[in-house]
Structure 1
Amino acid sequence: MAYRYGNRYQIALLPKSIEDYVGPDDPVRVYDAFVDALDLKELGMEMNPHKVGNTEYDPRVMLKLFVYGYSYGWKSSRKLERALYHNVSFIWLLGGLTPDHKTIAEFRRKNTEALKRILKQCTRMCMELDLLDGNVLFVDGTKIRANASRTRNHTKHHYEEHLAEVDKRIDELLEECERIDEKEKEQGSWIKLEKELVENEEYRTRIREMLNRFKEEEEKGKRPKTINQTDPESALMRSVQGSHASYNVQSVVDEKHSLIVHVDAVSETSDVNQFAHQITQAEEVTGKGCKVGCADAGYADTEELEKIDRRGTTVIVPSQRQALHNPEEKPFGKDKFVYDKEHDCYWCPEGQKLVYEGKHEGDKKIAYRIPDAVVCKKCKQYGQCTDFPRGRKIVRLSQEEVKEKLERQYEHPESQEIYKKRKARVEHPFGHIRRNLGMTSFLVRGREGARAEISVAATCFNIVRMITLLGGVRELIGGFMALQS
């Protein structure tokens, strides 16, 4: 049987147009239609075709390049430049335009804010297409590496030592410069000294920036152990892969179809203080208050959860105790002591009274203790209940009633049904973004750059889901066109 062979030198009488190389059901057409449906003015992008000077590339075309590039997992400006010559779908998307990597990188740098706002418009399109309702929102976080080495994380003391060394070296160089007479200035020794002086002064400026960063964080009530010299806004975070300079990426996902409503990149290593802020940001995107907010025990901070609960939103977040699969039953745990609200005291299982002792951590915690330690020591349960010489102490949160309410709320059968969906809803987007889009690390440095990157990646995930939910490329393109009419 004969084989088929290609011929690179075959001359075609009527060569195909670029349009003919992309089929009607090719996903690239969706990305093209999506960006065409965006309101660039709302994104903050300047559209001025009559601008004087050198002709620029159409911002909408450049935006298509970035969004579609991230759907491939291609973030590098050089990879995107290469695709414009070798990948038919990229050639079609830009209509044969070939901006170089410098132009591509410069566009990303200048339009960070616009890239951050893309997801917001995408979410609203999902709502108009009835794919998202914003009634039940799930919050979760993941650690994504920053574009910085962990070895560049240093303590405040390290920077102070280096600053002293650099100051000393600069003083030595200045003294040496003064000793050089006019004749030696014309020789290479003067040029070498001047170059070293400039380098040390630049290094001193960078060190001072790091120390100022420590000061700013301390003024906010934070005490970072280290700050990364390459990307000061990143933080050293632990993950399955070990400790690395990273960002804590927060995602708010809608229950209906696992579509992403809002994403953020923060420097805090813990999720504890994120719940209220992320839910509020998601509600601003949807334009409505959610009915239910759900997250895992990593977000279990009573003060933080109460901010959402007092608005009437049902908060489904387990406490640290409830999150344990097989919690150890303690015969003399806090739950075995009865609080007497009228007299502001606790009663122990043996009928002894624990009275108010004082407040700790400001007003956040209230301590109650047996007034006479001898009573505890004579008790038959001494040693099992406590072996502390001053007797048993119970610590109650100032918001203990709110905590108990949230625990009861979590244990409600309807809440349990919603919580069972949490893992499938929030892990799906993160899995796609990490595995399929290759978003295991950020390319751009700084928190705003990280936010822009994760916003584009989340948009790509939503577009893939929309194609599936609406039944295909043509149906989704029709939906985008209907939104513009």
Structure 2
Amino acid sequence: MPYIKGADRNQITLMPDCMEDYISAENPVRVIDAFVEQLNIAPLGFKTEPAVEGRPGYDPRDMIKLYIYGYLNKIRSSRRLQTEAGRNVELMWLLGKLVPDFRCIADFRKDNANAIKGVFREFVKLCNKADLLSKEAVVIDGSKFRAVNSDNNCYVKSNVEKLIAQADDKIAKYMAELDAADKTERRSGELTSENIGEVLNYLAKRKIQLENALSELNENGLNHVCTTDRESRLMKTRDGCKPSFNVQTAVEPNNHIIVNFDVTSDCADWGLLESGISGAKDVLGVETLEGIADKGYGNDEEILKCLLNGDTPTIYLNKNQNCRTFKFAKMDDEITSEMLVSNDYETLKKCIATGVLPDILKRSDVTFEIVPTATPQQFLDKETGEIVSYEQVKAKGGTEREKLKLRLETPVQSYFERNLTSDTVICPMGQTLFYAGIGWPNGKANSGKRRYHRASVCAKCRNKCTVGKQRIVSFKADETRKYTDFYDKCGTGRITRRKERRFIPIDVPKHEVVVMKYYPNQRKLRIRNQIVEHPYGTVKRWNDGYYLLVKGRVKAAAELALSFLGYNFKRVLNLLGTKKMLEMITA
């Protein structure tokens, strides 16, 4: 049975008369063309007026179409885009057979960075207008994208000094070899003077690079510096610490469309929650929004900002906790009705600290109470008259103790005996103690405790059971005997006393603390992974977008805007199809 054979290359064929016949009605390039044509590119920042003199430039719309098509089809390189424009039938139709030079393509992305990010936002607004986006919640997460900076051009302060010392050692070693090569006859396989000279030149240049990097680190007070892309930072990735950018995205939960993103130089997500939610609110056009994120965003200050903005930060709680607790030192200040409805962060914090809950926090998942709290103990320094803390007393030796060598006789008994009839107490040495009033444990009167002492007897006692001037013993209401181990401790040398007696404890007034608790909805956290991780995986794996092609945060944002626009475009195309998507754009 013969195989299927292709057409004869010498066969004369009648090709379609126009390019329109090559593109079917369901082809996605028609959607790209319709979307770009309806854009008002002047407010986005693109140059809309052609130059009067010189060679005419390309229409920005054609360049936008070229880039959207490229990122939709895994083509990010300007050289590859130039190649495809000259041989790809779809691009011929889309651009009208224009073939821009690769430098012109690359410069367009570089020179219109902010405007390209605006194109991404316009598509998100189009999706929002078509009711494809949830306006109740977004899922926020960050991912590291490799910057245009090699590992050799990234200098860490702790390692630079070691590398400079290693370079000095190698230079000394090769200089010695160079001297030896000049004095002795060269053998086969050994380095020649020319080879050693090349190595020395390389080491000298490398040492200069290291010294310049160390000088920059010291001048700016930095821990590390990336010399190729200075806005990138060393960040922890799956491949180790690499020069990268931390890219933040907000993904809506219904159709998994990226509604907003930001490129940052922050190595962690710790302080980026509030900005992520605020950016998503601006795009969606809502006043309040729920932001779902992982533990990396668990910064209490950021969570409080979101709550005071009226948003709902749904973040994983710490282990064995069911809420987030915020504590404020109680203040006495006047609060007006205008302050309670204010949008100012510090004003709202002041309202909370005075014990008045602002209107924005009157919600079911927030509780509010004022509780008393113990204050740190303070002491009076008798020598200087200063009020000092326990830590200061400890630093000055006020807590150090010394052992006492006491030689005491065996007591008559090892306990205090109370006579309920006469309401007196017999001490271990057989002396009688009298009632001295009720007990005051922890500064509060307790009628259930009765105290006994007798100062005149203790002053004359040579075998007394205390190192103080007198012994005061307390009994409960029905207690008749209380044992003492003072004499046993004396026999084993366990009696101590403070060395320094210049510090006297003083009474400190108790304070109140305003405690606010926030209870996030933990069930919504179960959907986080399956929503926000999918776009990153698609962009990085499907589109080879785990590394960047341009330098700087602004230009990196332009490239990622194209990557995320390509993801959103394909996502909506899969949800609606070509026909409905064209209707959405032209509506």
Give yes or no for the alignment of 1:429 onto 2:538. Answer: no
Change over 3 Å in CA distance of 1:14–1:461 after alignment to 2: closer
Please identify the structure whose Cα radius of gyration is greater: 2
Structure 2 counterparts to residues 84-483 of structure 1, below 5 A: 84-155=85-156, 158=160, 224-321=222-319, 342-345=371-374, 355=376, 401-402=515-516, 405-406=517-518, 409-410=519-520, 415-470=521-576, 472-482=577-587
Residue 236 (structure 1) shift: 0.9
Distance apart, 1:435 and its partner CA:
1.5
CA distance in 2 between partners of 1:56 and 1:48 (Å): 10
Of 459-468 and 8-17, deviating more is 8-17
Shift of 1:156: 5.3
> Cα offset for 1:307?
0.7
Say if 1:320 and 1:37 are closer, same or farther in 2 by CA, change over 3 A. farther
State the alpha-carbon separation in 2 of the partners of residues 52 and 9 from structure 1. 46
> Higher helix share goes to which structure?
1
Give the Cα–Cα distance (whole angstroms) in 2 for the partners of residues 65 and 133 of structure 1: 30
Tell me the number of residue pairs that the alignment of Structure 1 and Structure 2 aligns: 374
Name the CA shift for 1:154/1:212 in 2 (closer, same or farther; >3 Å): closer
- CA displacement at 1:215 relative to structure 2: 5.6
Match of residue 11 from structure 1 = 12
Matched, 1:60 2:89: no
C-alpha contact 1:116 1:452 (8 A) present in aligned 2: yes
Cα distance, 1:438 vs. partner? Answer: 1.3
Matches of 1:210 and 1:45 in 2, distance apart? 41
Give the whole-Å Cα distance in 1 for the aligned partners of 2:568 and 2:307.
Answer: 29
Q: 1:58 to 1:208 in 2, by over 3 A?
A: farther
Maintained 8 Å contact 1:302/1:399:
no
Indicate how the Cα distance of structure 1 residues 12 and 126 shifts in structure 2: closer, same or farther if over 3 A, else same: same
Inter-CA distance 207–447: structure 2 relative to 1 (3 Å threshold): farther
Determine the structure 1 residue equivalent to 2:472.
none
Q: Distance in 1 between matches of 2:78 and 2:532?
A: 30
Higher relative contact order (CA 8 A, sep 6+): 1
Assess, with a 3 A threshold, how the Cα gap between structure 1 residues 35 and 421 changes in structure 2: closer, same or farther. Answer: same
Q: Output the aligned Cα RMSD.
A: 3.4
Q: Measure the CA separation in 2 of the matches of 1:399 and 1:94.
A: 67
- Residues 40-61 of structure 1: CA deviation (Å, up to 9, x unaligned): 1121101114733211111100
Partners of 1:368 and 1:53 lie apart in 2 by 80
- After TM superposition, the score normalised by the length of structure 1 is 0.69
C-alpha contact (below 8 Å) 2:155/2:224 kept by paired residues: yes
**Hey, what's the Cα distance between the residues in 2 that align with 1:458 and 1:368?**
57
Q: Which amino acid aligns with 1:115?
A: I
Deviation track 1:188-207 (CA, whole Å, cap 9, x = no partner) reads: xxxxxxxx9xxx9xx99x99
Structure 2 unmatched ranges of 5 or more: 168-200, 323-368, 379-388, 401-511
| Residues 109 and 558 in structure 2, CA contact (< 8 A), matched pair in contact too | no
Query: What is the SS of the residue equivalent to 1:6?
Result: coil
Query: 1:316: how far off?
Result: 0.7
Matched to 1:92, the amino acid is W
Measured in 1, the distance between the counterparts of 2:305 and 2:533 equals 25
Task: Say which SS state the counterpart of residue 372 (structure 2) adopts.
Answer: coil
- 1:36 aligns with 37
Report how far residue 321 of structure 1 moved: 2.8
Structure 1, unmatched stretches of 5+, are: 166-195, 219-223, 325-339, 346-353, 358-366, 375-397
SS at match of 2:287: coil
CA distance in 1, matches of 2:526, 2:513: 27
Check if 1:72 corresponds to 2:73: yes
Query: Residue 319 of structure 2 aligns to a residue in which SS?
Result: helix
Identity %: 31
Counterpart CA distance in 1 for 2:54 and 2:541 is: 43
**Counterpart residue identity of residue 310, structure 1:** L
Distance 1:264 1:85 in 2: 34
Structure with the bigger percentage of strand: 2
The SS at the match of 1:142 is strand
Distance in 2 between residues matched to 1:302 and 1:322, nearest whole Å: 17
Aligned to 1:361: none
3-state SS, counterpart of residue 343 of structure 1: strand
Say if 1:467 and 1:473, in contact at 8 Å, map to a contact too.
yes
Deviation at 1:144, TM superposition (A): 0.9
* TM-score normalised by the chain length of structure 2: 0.58
Shift of 1:469: 2.2
Q: Distance in 1 between matches of 2:122 and 2:231?
A: 27
Distance 1:153 1:37, change over 3 A: same
